[in-house]
């Protein structure tokens, strides 16, 4: 059975007669079904009944339902309620706006709003650069999506994308003290997206594009960077690439290999895959072979997509052909940003000595990490319940903290590489091992180091 996760945590309220020892029965049922108990509370104890709340992590929604049914089927137990802890967390949304100033008296209102606020407006008319000094602009980022490529769920639209964008905004605040707000657009037309973001840009000090599918995302980013005087960052591209480069830099130290000498097999040639390949090549990689849904990309690949053309022009130097499994034989590194369970154990076993596997498809990776670790020296995923989580939260809070503090206008490749090196260097030589190639997302030094590296490049 797949590993359990807090993302599928449930709390079950169960009632039973004291003589039946309901605590023992519930515990046995849950652990026997493969779930992980994280809390158990007796909420009511009477002569005729005992009521227990038991919280457990399950492996998926179906597993959670199986556990509830197994308990309910026991003749001595009654299930009174089952609560999905993830749904409970999202009730009413995850973010809110709070005033930074007191609004308790007429004096407060006179300065924060009319008539005093009119003086601030006039100051900005007289000097437009004062908008950054006298408003939220200098610390605010728009998290913009069209809902076309959300997590591993695909094109689910702007409303269904909102929980993810809320989460992103919460991460901005928690890790970078950046005020971010979801902007979910009900259009997937490039012209409309670009024009809408251009129109709302005066409020923001930066734009974070999120979950916009390729190739649309490339044009949106390019055009917005040309139009706006604030930094535009597509996190699915550059954030992922930065953290992959950081993790790979430390992994190669462990296996004592040079990036330039490694044969890298990539599964996924969309936004993330393209950005990863470009950043790796900027850092010295010379032999990357990429696969998309149609197979290996080589000189015979036909495309009108400029990003696919980039792979044709710059990757697969030996113009190899074959299946993903065939090309993995003897390879040093696998990087997956594609789909779940596309690799078999034999595929990883066929890789070269001291291989590195980054199976980053979310929520389910290209191969079960437990299986991959049987053969690869270093294994990473995108999951928070596994070691070596390749998580963009290591990058974007510090990047935007640095960009906003420096009043930056553009993002350069030099900046991306510097951010990756800063993340990698947050893992000391004494800490570095096969299960710890990137720092914890809760390490406060990461944002500080990344922001400092960014400011040096601006």
The dotted CATH code for 5-90 is: 3.30.70.260
Q: Is the pTM of this model over 0.85?
A: yes
State residue 2's pLDDT score: 65
Average pLDDT rounded to a whole number, residues 191-197? 98
Catalytic residue among 81, 113, 370, 410: 113
Which pLDDT does position 4 carry in this prediction?
84
Mutual angle of helices 444-457 and 157-176, in 10-degree steps: 90
Average pLDDT in the 150-156 region?
A: 87
Q: What is the pLDDT of residue 270?
A: 84
Within 10 Å of residue 261's Cβ, how many Cβ atoms? Answer: 12
Owner of token pair 């640095």: 402
CATH 1.10.3720.10 fits 138-230, yes or no: no
Who's near 261: CB < 8 A, 6+ residues apart? 332
Domain boundaries 238-392, corresponding CATH code:
3.40.50.720
% of the chain at pLDDT higher than 90 = 85
Catalytic-residue membership of 113:
yes
Sorted by where each begins, the domain ranges of the chain are: 5-90, 105-134, 138-230, 238-392
Alpha carbons 311 and 288: distance in angstroms, whole number: 9
Q: Are 204 and 318 in contact (CB under 8 A)?
A: no
Q: Which residue is catalytic, options 69, 100, 137, 168?
A: 168
Share of the chain above pLDDT 70, in %: 100
- Specify the DSSP element, H or E, that contains 370: helix 369-372
Q: What is the pLDDT of residues 49-96, one digit of tens each?
A: 999 999 999 988 999 999 999 999 899 999 999 999 999 999 999 999
Q: Do domains 5-90 and 238-392 have the same CATH topology?
A: no
1, pLDDT greater than 60:
no
Q: What is the mean pLDDT of the chain?
A: 93
Confidence check: pLDDT of 152 > 80: no
Q: Read off the pLDDT of residues 378-426 as tens digits, 9 standing for 90 and up.
A: 999 998 778 999 999 999 999 999 999 999 999 999 999 999 999 999 9
Give me the helices (H) in 373-443, please. 396-405, 413-425
């Amino acid at each position: 059975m797949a590993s359990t996760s807090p993302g599928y945590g449930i709390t079950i309220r169960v009632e039973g007669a004291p003589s039946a020892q309901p605590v023992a029965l519930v515990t046995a049922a849950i652990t026997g079904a493969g779930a992980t108990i994280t809390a158990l509370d007796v909420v009511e104890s009477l002569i005729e009944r005992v009521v227990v709340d038991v919280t457990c992590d399950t492996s998926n929604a179906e597993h959670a339902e199986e556990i509830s049914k197994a308990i309910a089927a026991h003749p001595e137990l009654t299930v009174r309620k089952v609560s999905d802890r993830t749904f409970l967390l999202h009730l009413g949304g995850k973010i809110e706006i709070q005033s930074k100033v007191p609004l308790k008296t007429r004096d407060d209102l006179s300065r924060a709003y009319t008539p005093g606020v009119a003086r601030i407006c006039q100051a900005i008319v007289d000097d437009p650069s004062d908008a950054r000094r006298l408003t939220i602009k200098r610390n605010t980022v728009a998290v913009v999506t069209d809902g076309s490529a959300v997590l591993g769920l695909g094109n689910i639209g702007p409303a269904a994308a909102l929980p993810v964008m809320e989460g992103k905004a919460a991460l901005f605040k928690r890790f970078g003290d950046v005020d971010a707000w979801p902007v979910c657009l009900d259009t997937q037309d490039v012209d409309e997206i670009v024009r809408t973001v251009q129109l709302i840009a005066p409020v923001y000090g930066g734009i974070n594009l999120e979950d916009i599918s390729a190739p649309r995302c490339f044009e949106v980013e390019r055009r917005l960077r040309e139009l706006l005087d604030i930094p535009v960052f597509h996190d699915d591209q550059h954030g992922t690439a930065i953290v992959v480069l950081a993790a790979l830099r430390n992994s190669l130290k462990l296996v004592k290999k040079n990036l330039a000498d490694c044969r890298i097999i990539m599964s996924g040639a969309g936004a993330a895959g393209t950005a990863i390949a470009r950043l790796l090549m900027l850092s010295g990689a010379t032999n990357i072979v990429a696969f998309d849904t149609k197979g290996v990309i080589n000189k015979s690949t036909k495309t009108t997509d400029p990003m696919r053309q980039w792979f044709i022009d710059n990757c697969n130097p030996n113009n190899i052909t074959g299946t993903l499994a065939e090309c993995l034989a003897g390879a040093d590194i696998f990087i997956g940003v594609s789909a779940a369970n596309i690799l078999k154990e034999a595929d990883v076993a066929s890789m070269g000595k001291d291989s590195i596997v980054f199976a980053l498809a979310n929520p389910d990776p290209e191969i079960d990490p437990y299986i991959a670790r049987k053969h690869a020296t270093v294994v990473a995923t995108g999951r928070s319940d596994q070691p070596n989580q390749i998580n963009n939260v290591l990058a974007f809070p510090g990047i935007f903290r640095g960009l906003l503090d420096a009043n930056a206008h553009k993002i350069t490749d030099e900046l991306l590489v510097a951010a990756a090196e800063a993340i990698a260097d947050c893992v000391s030589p004494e800490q570095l091992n096969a299960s710890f190639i990137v720092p914890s997302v809760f390490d406060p030094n990461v944002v500080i180091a990344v922001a400092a590296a960014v400011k040096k490049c601006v």
